[in-house]
Amino acid sequence: MIRVNGAVKTFGKKKALDGLTFAAEEGKIIGLLGTNGAGKSTTLKAMAGLLRLDRGEITIDGDKPGLSARGMITYLPDVDVWYPWMRLSDAIRYMKDMYWDWNDEKVGHLLDFFELRADSVMAEASKGTRAKMKLLLALGRQAKYLLLDEPLSGIDPFARRQVAQAIVEDFMEEGQTVIITTHEVPEVETMLDEVVFIHEGKLLLQGHVETMKHQRSMSLMDILKEVYDGARV
């Protein structure tokens, strides 16, 4: 389980996280949703051990983020992190050398599914193709926790739902936990078990998607709008 307990992170005068508390249970697909600047990417970076909290704590199966927890986590950042000269095959080789849980067979299926060529230079690919390459590099591992920051960004609206569905149905491992941030709420609605709504670095609401939708007879997007309208007044 990943626990976020009273997380505070300040950049200059801006409080990106302001006492955020929630838990991500094992085997769940959790949508971390919120408006621009809500603190979603900061939360994932802190979980991945890429930035240190000012206060509060994050634990991953009881461990603090860092070297020992890193083996359990795959983090897909919302920015491109690969060298511009790299071909997809170079990045695949790098990941294979870095991580014992790299799965060549799965990567073969992912190449087919995304219709990617391993010899493509990553920086020369279109934004959508780069998004698929990044997803391939994240899904190629069997890490217990998958942190996906805006994985559908750049992928055209026709393919988004299909890609979201494939993540869950074809490429997720048994017992894997996924935390996904996205603004494409309707496209991911059916794949999510739970949602965590955050606003100004604080938890607004956490709940089971189907229960929330059933109780309110609303789509997830409408629930999100209602919750945020309430937070703004």
Residues that bind ligand ATP (CB under 6 A): 11, 14, 16, 34, 36-42
Which of 42, 129 has the CB closer to ligand ATP? 42
- In the complex, the smallest distance separating the C-beta of residue 15 from ligand ATP, rounded to whole angstroms, is 8
Q: Which residue has the tokens 């695949």?
A: 92
- In the complex, the smallest distance separating the C-beta of residue 230 from ligand ATP, rounded to whole angstroms, is 18
- In the complex, the smallest distance separating the C-beta of residue 25 from ligand ATP, rounded to whole angstroms, is 22
DSSP characters for 29-47?
EEEEE-STTSSHHHHHHHH
- In the complex, the smallest distance separating the C-beta of residue 201 from ligand ATP, rounded to whole angstroms, is 7
CA–CA separation, 16 vs 12, rounded Å?
10
Which of 130, 202 has the CB closer to ligand ATP? 202
Which of 36, 217 has the CB closer to ligand ATP? 36
Which of 37, 230 has the CB closer to ligand ATP? 37
Which of 34, 65 has the CB closer to ligand ATP? 34
Residue 108 neighbours by CB distance under 10 Å: 12
The helix or strand, by DSSP H or E, that contains position 72, with its residue range, turns out to be none
Which of 40, 202 has the CB closer to ligand ATP? 40
CA–CA separation, 162 vs 26, rounded Å?
24
The helix or strand, by DSSP H or E, that contains position 100, with its residue range, turns out to be none
CA–CA separation, 140 vs 110, rounded Å?
8
Q: What is the largest CA-CA distance in the chain?
A: 52
The two beta strands, 73-76 and 145-149, are parallel
3-class SS of residue 63: strand
- In the complex, the smallest distance separating the C-beta of residue 200 from ligand ATP, rounded to whole angstroms, is 9
CB 179 within 8 A of CB 146: yes
- In the complex, the smallest distance separating the C-beta of residue 39 from ligand ATP, rounded to whole angstroms, is 4
